Amino acid sequence: MKPSTDTYSREVLTTTLHAVAGGDKQAFEQLYQMTSAKLFGICLGLLPQRSDAEDVLQDVYVTVWQKAAQFREGRATAMTWLISIARNKSIDRLRARGTLQRSSPIDLAGPLSDPAPEQPEVVEAEQESQRLDGCMNTLDPKQRAAIRVAFMEGVTHDALASRAGVPLGTMKSWIRRGLHRLKACLER
């Protein structure tokens, strides 16, 4: 079985990304092998049209090739840096598409806690990131559901509000309060 992204350590990804920054094409191919399935999953999750996800994935790696030197390991890890590029490009594509956003209703009753992760998680930054799950569970279920759907689908406040059948102000407030509590919990 092909190793998933999750089996690559933070250190390996960082080293590989630094090599890419130096123009090492072999390292670039390794990086693609290590991370493309994860990033493609993220693009597919955000973009309803598969062809968009494929286009964006190409853009992501072209950007990685060009801008790898800009990565500085600090607050965000190499994987988070890559994920952020994939998410930002996907969300921008989604905005450019306008009306093609998903429109399924959001069930704010939702499960009371987040589902267990489907697979072993990345070894890197494990303690830090696992705290998110715990903190998400301290949120009001509506806040948690809104934040989760927003993150997974990249939808605007407006679209979230109409899908949840609540006024825009209410949705904005849920999300802000949720984020505020999340931050307080994570900084504890």
Partner 1 sequence: MSEFDESADTPNREDLRLAEYVLGTLDGEERREVEGWMDADPRIAARVETWQERFAQLANQVAPADAPAYIWARILARIEPERVALESTAPATRPGLWQSLTLWRWLGAGSLAVAALVVIIVLGVMPTQRQHGAPGTRSGTELAATIRTDNGQAAFTASIDASGTRMTVIPTAAWKHSGKVPELWLIAPGSKTPEPLGVIAQDHATVMTIPAALRGQARSQALLAISVEPPGGSPTGLPTGPVIAKGAVNSI
Residues between 107 and 126 that touch partner 1 (CB under 8 A)? 117-119, 121-122, 125
Residue 181 interacts with partner 1 (CB under 8 A)?
yes
One residue of 80, 143, 144, 166 binding partner 1 per CB under 8 A: 80
Give the largest CA-CA distance in the chain: 51
**Could you say whether residue 37 binds partner 1 (CB under 8 A)?**
yes
65 is a contact residue toward partner 1 (CB under 8 A): yes
**Would you say 17 or 83 has its CB closer to partner 1?**
83
- Of 7, 15, 113, 132, which one interacts with partner 1 (CB under 8 A)? 132
How many residues of this chain interact with partner 1, rule: CB under 8 A?
75
Question: Is residue 14 near partner 1 by the rule CB under 8 A?
Answer: no
Tell me if 157 contacts partner 1 by CB under 8 A: yes
The region of 11-19, 20-28, 102-110 touching partner 1 under the rule CB under 8 A is 20-28
CA angle 174-176-172, nearest 5°?
A: 55
Q: Which of 12, 101, 110, 133 binds partner 1 (CB under 8 A)?
A: 133
Single out the residue of 11, 15, 62, 167 in contact with partner 1 (rule: CB under 8 A).
62
Q: List phi, psi (to 5°) of 106.
A: -100, 130
* Residues 147, 154: Cα–Cα separation, whole Å: 10
Instruction: Return the number of the residue (74 or 105) whose C-beta is nearest partner 1.
Output: 74
141 binds partner 1 (CB under 8 A): no
Q: Which of these segments, 11-19, 88-96, 104-112, binds partner 1 (CB under 8 A)?
A: 88-96
